[in-house]
Amino acid sequence: MARRSKTRRDSGGSRSGPLASPHVARRLPVFDVMDEQTIVRLEQQVDWLIEEVGIEFRDDPEAHRIWERAGAKMEGNRLRADAAWIRELCRQAPSEFTQVARNPARNVRIGGANQVFAPIYGAPFVRDLKGGRRYGDMESFEKLVKLAYLHPNLHHTGLVICEPCDVPVSHRHLDMVYTHMRWSDKPHLGAITEKSRAQDSVDMAEILHGREVMDQNCVIMGNVNTNSPLLVDKVVSEAIQVYCGRGQGIVLVPFILSGAMGPVSTAASVTQAMAEALVCCAFAQIVKPGAPFVLGNFLSSMSLKSGAPTFGMPEPVLSNYAIGQMARRVGLPLRCGGSLTASKIEDAQAAYESADSMQSTAVAGAHFVLHAAGWLEGGLCTGFEKLVMDADRLGAYQKLLGGLDASDEALARDAYAEVEPAGHFLGCGHTMRNYQTAFYEPALSDSENVESWEEAGEKDMRQRAYERWTAMLEGYEAPPIDEAVDEALRDYIARRKREIPEAWY
Amino acid sequence: MARRSKTRRDSGGSRSGPLASPHVARRLPVFDVMDEQTIVRLEQQVDWLIEEVGIEFRDDPEAHRIWERAGAKMEGNRLRADAAWIRELCRQAPSEFTQVARNPARNVRIGGANQVFAPIYGAPFVRDLKGGRRYGDMESFEKLVKLAYLHPNLHHTGLVICEPCDVPVSHRHLDMVYTHMRWSDKPHLGAITEKSRAQDSVDMAEILHGREVMDQNCVIMGNVNTNSPLLVDKVVSEAIQVYCGRGQGIVLVPFILSGAMGPVSTAASVTQAMAEALVCCAFAQIVKPGAPFVLGNFLSSMSLKSGAPTFGMPEPVLSNYAIGQMARRVGLPLRCGGSLTASKIEDAQAAYESADSMQSTAVAGAHFVLHAAGWLEGGLCTGFEKLVMDADRLGAYQKLLGGLDASDEALARDAYAEVEPAGHFLGCGHTMRNYQTAFYEPALSDSENVESWEEAGEKDMRQRAYERWTAMLEGYEAPPIDEAVDEALRDYIARRKREIPEAWY
């Protein structure tokens, strides 16, 4: 253990040591951006969408049967339901829950005053300072999972940290899930792209955690997007059946580019996202009352010049705050936002956009934040440097969410007995007692004077980030795992790979 | 006029055209980060500092006489005053006021729901992509003032946008003030470093605006720092006498590096800043009841490694929110924050730190934001690229502060009659009616795909910013000025330069 501690210190992992808790325990108050009248107007529109416009469930006859058995009436694929009933069903979902990790010290609490940060999900490309931009592969995937495991400011490793494009699509989910299970001991997600892949993820989680733990706990979740506007396809409804059917969690996220998959208006897009998510939550609660459900919202604006999605802009920033307020009213854990940007590289654009996006995500009270680190190019590319740069800032948000300490010690009255007007507090008793924990200590910000910075080679943040992630990987040691469990996982994967034909689509 | 409009469009100045209002008219609610009990604790500590610890006024016998005539008792240099009396005096200051510009369309409203963004103040160095880092000079100063004038997202041009180090210190204030008066028509500040320089600024403002306008309005303000902790030196007390004595405004800003000029605690530093600022506000109200006063706070954290100040960190971010809440309780306009960073260049560090600092500044409700654009190196350097990069993001904050539009048109119910599930909203009537104003359109963010970005030369934001500010300057046309007024200003400066010996300190 002593050796391991030292290794992680050397890799820079201990820089934010005091903050390395398994999740954020928020004390900062919430920020409500709507008055009562406005939020009621939006809630009325959510109900109107559920009751009058309706939502379609396509290509999954079982989903229709589930709704009908619960008493709903399908008109073809369209469900128009009583909104009060939908909201009543949603109240069966827990307002907060624990996702158990294989290392209990890594368990995360999602919902309420607890917030969890996880890395980018779904990028086909990767980029780093030396290797440039290229398709993601299993080697990059494994490195990125290890970095997410090592970083003290990431609480959860997500799943598709990049697409490992060198593994056949039909086998990919097995290798991805195993990588998270074996080379990290933080909580993670499972696959959702097809019903059998969701089932494989759940089955592997049962091998890892054991049936009894799984019966009593959420140990894995799937993250799914509705096909906005107003369509739930079978990928979503089947994933809900597989995960929630086993008492596991679903993160359900309408992805709305306002003006394309929703009206060109923040208020309308937010209500549409709420309507889609609430109907899916109700569906999940019919499948399994009490199943953990995270209400999602992923809203993007667009460029007038080209129609390209834009990120970190004031409309999605405002939507983070608005959806945070709406989620608190329905009492469901929320996923929204992230460290989002349209920039291709880790330049100032990437950082301005990511910071505006992520500060609002954190302050809005997002309980589960996918894409909290590593996102470039509108989500098409995972940046190695970007991952550690964003994660360094996550420590700052975690400190911010701790709120203002106004204890007697924080008020420091004794310091004024020691320090005269125009004097300095550097050596006074209060400073000596508190300086080591007073300030967030970033690993990647250079705050030295220009001469020191020039002498050290005029490195920009990107270069420092490259040095940091390479040092972190050098210091990596795998978390221990029960050998029998590891063998059982490997056997499962080998059998499934024999059963499933290789396919690249 | 037609030609001028065209020129400004070509320079990129119109990109954020719809936002180019003279100041922010906020509709976004405020964010209170303290509960009632906590804010009362902090207010009690403010009162304790005023009553029991006290604040010194040094080297200005007239300041002592002013306090004593008002009934206060000085113990040597120390003023310990009844806090209720200090707060009563502060209530004579306006909660919001207008600073009149020489172009009435540029008048800014400071306080209440109005927020004003101004550029960096006080940097001895400048940096741009081609010229590198160097001492500021009059050529750079003039270019930077022109850029601040041209940029639609800056409402005010401040004063010391960089130090023009090639002009003798004793004459510098004359040339700086004239540059703002002549090459911009936005509101600006005057000099404060010595009583006669403050007086020159006020006298020049009287020439520019005329005695009658000045008698009735705030047309110029001085920005001063207390000598924290708890010391008001004569630079401050004399500037208050000169500016407020003439009915003009003072922006008073304790600068506290927590752990050096205040305790190593956010809560304590915030209370100290409030105590210093309130006592100065009371002093200003004794000098001239009703004088415009902006309550300032400039709080910085520090690096544990070197003691260097750090910026954009969670402690000063939280202090922005906390001081915003405290300022609302005393009903005074607030200055805090800015786009602050310790980075030496316009890299990701600069942008992460500036965005976190500035988003919290804007949301906290800072009414007058100096350093809102151009700040590098902890304030030692003005970046030409940084100025336009930050200012581009200011447009995003201005949009955010507009709050959520929940009108019938924003709710877009008619769009759902046109668009089917899984359809798209691109061509529907609601989108056609609203797309042109729906989204903030940044000038410097590249949201195109990677192929387009590569074809365009893989420019990072810094390169695009260089191109933008050079194009803006090429399109610059001086705002018209009455020739007699200009001549009178030039005569005043020539006379004063003859009267004041050249001095370099």
Identify all chain A residues contacting B260, using CB atoms and an 8 Å cutoff.
424-426
**Residue among B106, B172, B210, B171 nearest B485 (CA):** B210
% residues pLDDT > 90 (chain B): 95
Across residues A293-301, what is the average pLDDT? 96
> What pLDDT does B400 receive?
98
Interface contact flag, B438 A301, Cβ < 8 Å: yes
Tell me: pLDDT of A1 over 90.
no
Query: What average pLDDT does chain A have?
Result: 95
CB-based contact, B382 to chain A, within 8 Å: no
Among B235-239, B385-389, B436-440, the minimum mean pLDDT is found in: B436-440
| CB < 8 Å to B449, chain A | 308, 377
Q: How confident is the model at residue A12 (pLDDT cuts 50, 70, 90)?
A: very low
> Tens of pLDDT along A58-77?
999 999 999 999 999 999 99
Interface of A with B in 233-262 (CB under 8 A): 258-262
pLDDT of the residue at B304: 79
Domains located in chain B, CATH noted? 90-401 (3.20.20.480), 406-439 (no CATH)
Of A265, A344, A440, the CB nearest to B450: A344
- Chain B CA closest to residue A271: B411
Q: What is the pLDDT of residue B86?
A: 98
Answer whether A260 sits within 8 Å of B425, measured CB to CB: yes
φ/ψ (deg, to 5) at A39: -65, -35
In a 13 Å sphere around the CA of B234, the CA atoms on its Cβ side amount to: 9
Residue among A32, A159, A407, A163 nearest B267 (CA) = A407
Q: Which of B400, B345, B407 is nearest to B376 (CA)?
A: B345
Q: Which residues of B touch A261 (CB under 8 A)?
A: 424-425
pLDDT of A386 > 60? The answer is yes
Interchain CB distance below 8 Å, A435 and B264: yes
Measured between CA atoms, the residue of chain A closest to residue B464 is A349
B400 to chain A: nearest residue by CA? A314
Q: Cβ(B296)–Cβ(B281) under 8 Å? A: no
CB–CB of B380 and A450 under 8 A?
Answer: yes
CB atoms B313 and A31 under 8 Å: no
Cβ separation A229–B389 shorter than 8 A: no
> In chain B, what residues touch A230 (CB-CB under 8 Å)?
421-422
Q: At what angle do helices A348-364 and B461-474 cross, to 10 degrees?
A: 110
Cβ of A349 and B446 within 8 Å? yes
Q: Which residue has the higher pLDDT, B505 or A91?
A: A91
> Which ranges in A254-383 belong to alpha helices (H)?
266-287, 314-330, 348-364
Q: How many CB atoms lie within 10 A of CB B112?
A: 17
Residues of A in contact with B345 (CB under 8 A): 458, 460
Higher pLDDT, B488 or A4: B488
Task: Please return the burial class of B433, using the count of CB atoms within 10 Å of its CB with bins 0-12, 13-18 and 19+.
Answer: middle
Q: Is some CB atom of chain A closer than 8 A to the CB atom of B129?
A: no
Q: Is A14's Cβ below 8 Å from some Cβ in B?
A: no
B377 touches chain A (CB under 8 A): yes
Place of tokens 């596991």: A248
* Position A395 pLDDT exceeds 80: yes
Q: What is the pLDDT of residue A19?
A: 54
Q: Return the pLDDT at A305.
A: 79
Size of chain B, expressed as the number of residues it contains:
505
DSSP letters for B198-220: HHHHHHHHHHHH-HHHHHHSB--
User: Does residue A91 contact residue A331 with C-beta atoms inside 8 Å?
Assistant: yes
- Pairwise CA distance, residues A422 & A397, whole Å: 33
- Reported as a single tens digit per residue, the pLDDT across A238-264 is 999 999 999 999 999 999 999 999 999
Average pLDDT, chain B: 95
Q: Exposed, middle or buried by CB within 10 Å (0-12, 13-18, 19+), for B331?
A: middle
B window 465-494, beta carbon within 8 A of A: none
pLDDT of residue B20: 64
* Inter-chain CB proximity A347 and B352 less than 8 Å: no
HEC sequence for A407-471: CHHHHCHHHHHHCCCCCCCCCCHHHHHHHHHHCCCCCCCCCCCHHHHHHCCCCCHHHHHHHHHHH
Bigger pLDDT: B21 vs A199: A199
The stretch B345-367 carries a mean pLDDT of: 98
Q: Give the model's confidence band at B7: pLDDT under 50 very low, under 70 low, under 90 confident, else very high.
A: very low
Give which of B255, B253, B323 is closest to B293, Cα–Cα: B253
Q: Is the pLDDT of residue A10 over 80?
A: no
Nearest Cα neighbor of B470 from B203, B194, B130 is: B130
Q: 3-state class of A35 per DSSP?
A: coil
Q: Which of B265, B387, B388, B449 to mutate to test the interface with A (most CBs of A within 10 A)?
A: B265
A458 contacts B406? CB cut-off 8 A: no
Which residues in chain A (316-375) have CB-CB distances under 8 A to chain B?
A: 317-318, 322, 342-356, 359-360, 363
Contacts of A49 in chain B (CB under 8 A): 416
**Which of B263, B303, B421 is closest, CB to CB, to A430?**
B263
For residue A424, which residues of chain B lie inside 8 Å, CB to CB?
A: 229, 260-261
pLDDT given for residue B476 in this prediction:
97
- Find residues 415-434 of chain B whose CB sits inside 8 Å of chain A: 415-416, 419, 421-426, 428, 430-431, 434
pLDDT value at position A50? 98
Token reading at B424 = 């798209």
For residue A343, the distance in angstroms to the closest alpha carbon of chain B comes to: 6
**Whose CA is closest to B336, among B254, B237, B276?**
B254
Q: Are A275 and A252 in contact (CB under 8 A)?
A: no
A124 touches chain B (CB under 8 A): no
Closest residue in A to B360 (Cα) is A359
Q: For testing the chain A interface, which of B440, B447, B455 should be mutated: the one with the most A CBs within 10 Å?
A: B447
Structural contact between residues A250 and A224, judged by C-beta atoms closer than 8 angstroms? yes
Q: Does A152 touch chain B (CB under 8 A)?
A: no
Structure confidence by residue, pLDDT tens digits, A206-234 = 999 999 999 999 999 999 999 999 999 99
ipTM of the complex: 0.96
Residues A429-468 have pLDDT tens digits of 999 999 999 999 999 999 999 999 999 999 999 999 999 9
Cα of A129 to nearest chain B Cα, Å: 14
Please count the other Cβ atoms lying within 10 Å of the Cβ belonging to residue B71: 10
Whether B229 and chain A come into contact, CB under 8 Å, resolves to yes
- Looking at the partner chain, which of B29, B422, B425 has a beta carbon nearest the beta carbon of A264? B425
Nearest-CA residue of chain B relative to A414?
B263
DSSP string, A318-340: HHHHHHHHHHHHHT--EEE--S-
Question: How close, in Å, is residue A276 to chain B by CA atoms?
Answer: 11
pLDDT at position A21 is 81
Q: How many CB atoms lie within 10 A of CB A190?
A: 28
Residue among B335, B364, B218, B338 nearest B274 (CA): B335
**Residue B282 contacts A where some CB pair is shorter than 8 Å:** no
Q: What is the pLDDT of residues A324-367, one digit of tens each?
A: 999 999 999 999 999 999 999 999 999 999 999 999 999 999 99
Question: Hey, are the CB atoms on B447 and A306 less than 8 Å from each other?
Answer: yes
Work out the angle between the directed axes of helices B266-287 and B83-90 (0-180°, nearest 10): 60
A-chain residues within 8 Å CB-CB of B377?
449-450
